[in-house]
Amino acid sequence: MIRLQGIERIFDVGGQQVHALRQIDLDINAGDYISIMGPSGSGKSTLLNIIGLLDRPSAGRYLFEQHDITALSDDEQAQVRRERIGFVFQFFHLVSRLTAAENIELPLILSGMPPSQRRERVAQTLKAYGLGERAHHRPEQLSGGQRQRVAIGRATIIEPGLLLADEPTGNLDRASGHEVVEILEQLNARGITLLVVTHDPELGQRARRRLRMVDGAIVEDTSRST
């Protein structure tokens, strides 16, 4: 599904060049469950941003579903994100003035789906994540776990092939975190490719394939055969 070849990412910080990613080669198959771990500043999030098309590599080739993505314009990349990629963030990033239902509806609005079809999809999603009662609550009226479930609902309502989660449990208590992880793993079980960046070794160990990064390079790539 994803092939990275010789990916480099160099940041220019105050005139100094910082190598955030060095010569990353990575193949990800559809349906994979991968965790990326490593110390702060090791380039985990940068790698995730590049895979999620939020950032462009300084060098290298990126094939997404057999297409060379690096050659696309910003707006064409936006279309790929809109149709194929879902994001889950540590800080949820819900729009505070919109209700849970409206937050989940956002990607459908951006895709131009007519309102009648949207309503049904949103209702199904809310129900699937146990948020039926909370549809018309605003983010500040929801618990952390509920907020992250809204965020996952928003990321998956377009039925993306790839779900990227950056510290999805980093801002949650144990119980809510566990709940969220189970939802993500259920999604993976239904075929979605799941990529999780985390500090939490317990969460990281659950993935079938585990990458360890240090100083912008992948130093360890272990797969569990199940």
Partner 1 sequence: MNPRDHLQFAFTALRGARLRSGLMLLAMAIGVAAVVVLSALGEGARRYVVGEFSSLGTHLLIVLPGRNETTGGAPPLTSETPRDLTLEDAEALKRSRHVRLVAPINVGSAAVSWGGREREAVIMGATHEIYEVRHFTMAQGRFLPPGDVRHPQPVAVLGAKLKRELFGTQSALGERIRIGDRRFRVIGVLQEQGQSLGMNTDELAIIPVMAAQSLFNVNSLFRILVEAPSRESIEPAQRHVIATLKARHDGEEDVTVITQESVLATFDRILGALTMTVAGIAAISLVVAGVLIMNVMLVAVAQRTVEIGLLKALGAPRPVILRLFLTEAALLSLLGAAIGLAVGQASTALLRQLYPALPFAAPSWAIIAAVLVALGTGLVFGVLPARRAARLDPVQALARR
Rounded to the nearest 5 percent, the helix, strand and coil shares of the chain are 40, 30, 35
User: Would you state the structure tokens that stand for residue 72, as one six-digit string?
Assistant: 């696309």
- The Cα diameter of the chain in Å comes to 53
Give the distance from CA 163 to its chain's centroid: 4
The CB density around residue 178, as the number of other CB atoms within 10 Å, is: 15
Using CB under 8 A as the binding rule, whether residue 54 contacts partner 1 is answered as: yes
Of the pair 98, 209, the CB lying nearest partner 1 is at 98
Using CB under 8 A as the binding rule, whether residue 52 contacts partner 1 is answered as: yes
Of the pair 22, 82, the CB lying nearest partner 1 is at 82
Using CB under 8 A as the binding rule, whether residue 223 contacts partner 1 is answered as: no
Using CB under 8 A as the binding rule, whether residue 154 contacts partner 1 is answered as: yes
Using CB under 8 A as the binding rule, whether residue 93 contacts partner 1 is answered as: yes
Task: Compute the least distance from the CB of residue 75 to partner 1, in Å.
Answer: 4
> Binding partner 1 by CB under 8 A: which of 13, 112, 116, 226?
112
Q: What angle do CA 126, 146, 84 make, to 5 degrees?
A: 60
CA–CA gap between residue 216 and residue 130 (Å, rounded): 39
Give the SS3 label for residue 99: coil
> Binding partner 1 by CB under 8 A: which of 109, 189, 214, 219?
109
> Binding partner 1 by CB under 8 A: which of 78, 189, 214, 219?
78
**Options 23-31, 50-58, 121-129, 175-183: segment touching partner 1 (CB under 8 A):** 50-58
What letter would DSSP give residue 70?
A: T
Using CB under 8 A as the binding rule, whether residue 97 contacts partner 1 is answered as: yes
Using CB under 8 A as the binding rule, whether residue 79 contacts partner 1 is answered as: yes
Residues 6+ apart with CB under 8 A from 184: 88, 152, 163, 165, 168, 194, 196
Using CB under 8 A as the binding rule, whether residue 111 contacts partner 1 is answered as: yes
List phi, psi (to 5°) of 156: -105, -5
> Binding partner 1 by CB under 8 A: which of 80, 131, 180, 184?
80
| H-helix or E-strand spanning residue 149 | helix 144-156
Closest to 106 (Cα-Cα) out of 151, 148, 53: 151
Using CB under 8 A as the binding rule, whether residue 74 contacts partner 1 is answered as: yes
Of the pair 89, 200, the CB lying nearest partner 1 is at 89
Residues that bind partner 1 (CB under 8 A): 49, 52, 54-55, 74-75, 78-83, 85, 87, 89, 91, 93, 95-98, 106-107, 109-112, 114-115, 154
